[in-house]
Amino acid sequence: MILPVSNFNNRVNFTDDKKAKKKELPYDCDTLLKNNFKNRALITYDKFTNALSLYTAKGLKGDKNANFYEFLTMGSIPYVIGSLMMMSVFNSANKFFEPIARSKAGAVGRKMALGVLFYGILKAATKPLVTAPVKWLTGVDVEIPYAKFIYELPDSVDDTDITSIEYHKVFESKEFSRWDLLYKSEAKGEKRNEYYDNIAKKLGYGENLNDSDQEMKPVIKKIATKTDMAKTLSSYLWAAAGVAYAFQNSWQDYFNVATLKFWKFGKFKHSLKVFKNTAIKCAKEFYNGPSGATGWSKYAGKFMIGTAALSTVLGVLNAVSVKKASEKTPKDVIDKDRKYVVN
């Protein structure tokens, strides 16, 4: 069945049902967004709620508009469920054990749960350790998001609700980065190549280049690729260090008083205080090794932190070390007198 597809933004709702709500989309074309906390939070919220509801529904129905973006977005579901499940596997059965086994299994189980938590937190929280310095040193923000405006296939001839929004990142694909979104509008009196000019200036390629965009694109691509790699690797190493940190014995001090019942204000406040003290104590224990440790176990903590920190630093250094214009070899420069043949 071939259905009519309109390739303009069809926001006219042909219905006489006054109650039917018109779908309001925040964007009507692909739009570059500011990489700020509010946008990031909104995007995360939008993606996660859609993964749980709309994308799941479409997926289970086998909807013809289900796409790779939705599949990837649903990839957050196993992370969340898996984390909760992991905590449960090590804790849920313990209450049936006799007291000594219960307390022993509980101690391990709680550390495991904390480990899962720290894994997630550190994995997410350490990414800016790479991306922020790279942005600061080169002007390239690999995390810059944009809203993609999508037309879907209609389900039937009456289906007019065929648009939706996806959230992507400009440098999500290094092969097909959305360079177009980075140009400014001359119609609005802005400088077309402003973004590229800024980066050229920061990287020492000079100011007022004729075609800063063409010159900077391969450089930016390199920086983005290297940054993504450093971000990925170092975040896993930090996450690993987080799990190791959660396995320090002194956390027991906190578990003894831990409560999430924030309405019992006194107890909750006390538990937060103990958490702070325990966290410091455990950090020391993690760094120095358990008391009386020798050999490997004494240095394992330092090694974990060291590796993670090193991967971050080396990653950033690698990402920002791109050739300056003056260092370009003749091979990189197009010789305007030569004819080039694609083979």
Partner 1 sequence: MRPNLIQTYLNNMPQVPPDKKDRNLDIEYVLSNRTFIKPLPSKGHLINRGILSAPAAVAKNIAYDTKSFVKAARGKANDYEAGKVNDIGMKLGGLMIAGYLMTRKQAPLAKAMEFVGLASFFAAMSIWPKIALQWPAQLVHGFNIRQKYEDSFGREKLFFQDPQYLAWSLFSDQKINKIGDWMGVPKDMNNRRDFIQEKMKKTAIQNNTMWMWTAGFATPVLSALICNACEKPITNLIGKHRAKKADNMLLDLNNASVKFKDTAALDELEEFIAENKDKKLNSDLVKKIKANLTKGFDGVTAQAISDDLDDILGLNNKKYHVDYMTLENITANTRKALETLVTPAQADRFLPDTDSLQNLLKDDFLNKELSETDVKKLLGVVGAKIRRNVRSYNSSIDFGKVDERRVIDRLFNLKMADNPIAKAIKPSSKLSDSLVETLRSTANVLTEFKARNAVLDEYIYLKAAAAPQTVLANAWNDFTHALPKLFNISQKEIAETRFDRKLTGELLRNKIEKIVASDTEYDALVRAIVEKIKVFDRSPAMSENYINAVNSVFERFPNVLQEKGLSMPNTVNRINGNFGSLKNVQKDFGANRVLGIRSSLYRLLNTLDFYKRIADAGKISDEYIAALHSGMPKAVKEEIVEFAKKLSISGTTSDYITKFFELRNPKLNSDDKNQIKSVAGKVEYKFLGENVPGGKVDIPQDKMFFHEIMKLLYENKMHPHTVDIVSNSGSALVDELAEYRRTFINEIGNAEYFFKPHHTTGAINKNTKSYRQFLLVGLAPDQMLNMTTKSIYNTRKWLKMFGGFGAGLLGVTVLSQFFFGKMKLPGGQKND
Measured at the CA of 187, the angle between CA 43 and CA 199, to 5 degrees, comes to 60
When the beta carbons of 140 and 271 are compared against partner 1, the nearer one is: 140
241 is a site residue for partner 1 (CB under 8 A): yes
3 Cβ contact list (under 8 Å, min separation 6): 153, 154, 156, 157
Least distance (Å) between residue 146 CB and partner 1: 17
Least distance (Å) between residue 239 CB and partner 1: 6
When the beta carbons of 73 and 278 are compared against partner 1, the nearer one is: 73
- Taking residues 87 to 106 in sequence order and writing x for each that binds partner 1 by CB under 8 A, - otherwise, the string is -xx--xx--xxx--x---x-
Q: Which two tokens stand for residue 60?
A: 């289970």
When the beta carbons of 251 and 271 are compared against partner 1, the nearer one is: 251
When the beta carbons of 26 and 82 are compared against partner 1, the nearer one is: 82
When the beta carbons of 38 and 338 are compared against partner 1, the nearer one is: 338
HEC profile of 208-277: CCCCHHHHHHHHHHHHHHHHHHHHHHHHHHHHHHHHHHHCCCCHHHHHHHCCCCCCCHHHHHHHHHHHHH
When the beta carbons of 25 and 101 are compared against partner 1, the nearer one is: 101
Least distance (Å) between residue 206 CB and partner 1: 19
- Taking residues 285 to 324 in sequence order and writing x for each that binds partner 1 by CB under 8 A, - otherwise, the string is -----x-----xx--xx--x--x----------xx--x--
Nearest to 130 by CA among 230, 9, 249, 269: 230
- Taking residues 57 to 86 in sequence order and writing x for each that binds partner 1 by CB under 8 A, - otherwise, the string is --xxxxxx-xxx--x--xx-xxxxxxxxxx
CA distances, 258 to each of 252, 270, 273, 274, 279 (Å): 9, 9, 10, 8, 13
Q: Which of residues 112-171 bind partner 1 (CB under 8 A)?
A: none
Compute φ and ψ for 169, nearest 5 degrees.
Answer: -115, 145
Do 246 and 275 contact (CB within 8 A), yes or no? Answer: no
Only one of the segments 10-18, 138-146, 237-245, 259-267 lies at the binding site for partner 1 (rule: CB under 8 A); that segment is 237-245
Report the half-sphere exposure of 147 (CA within 13 A, side-chain side): 19
**b/e map of 56-74 (b: 16 or more CB within 10 Å)?**
eebeeeebeebeebbeebb
Total residues interacting with partner 1, rule: CB under 8 A: 74
- Taking residues 191 to 210 in sequence order and writing x for each that binds partner 1 by CB under 8 A, - otherwise, the string is --------------------
232 is a site residue for partner 1 (CB under 8 A): yes
When the beta carbons of 139 and 301 are compared against partner 1, the nearer one is: 301
